[in-house]
Amino acid sequence: EYDGPISLETRDLTVVTDSDVAFAHMLHLDSGTRKNGVRSAIWVRSTVCCRRSGGSWLITHEHVSLPIDPETFQAWFPADM
């Protein structure tokens, strides 16, 4: 749990659309101070799929995962926190 505000920075946003389908892919840097006082930050990869229905855009699928370091196969955390 976080104590106070959580920062969300979006990078590398890519959006692809067609008449009734859209896909967005991005990286987020989520950061804030935990209830124990420790400041933390984590990169999260997100893909969102949308479909137009009845004139509105609806999210039909969302995938969130942690990027990994290909050398260590461990979750990648920013070093500049």
Are 56 and 20 in contact by the 8 Å Cβ rule? The answer is: no
Kindly report the average pLDDT of the chain as a whole number: 89
C-alpha triplet 63, 8, 45: angle, nearest 5°: 25
pLDDT in tens, 1-34: 888 899 999 999 999 999 999 999 999 998 999 9
CATH annotation of 2-66: 3.10.450.50
Report whether pLDDT(78) > 80: no
Domain spans of the chain?
A: 2-66
Considering only CA atoms, which of 36, 34, 65, 32 is closest in space to residue 48? 65
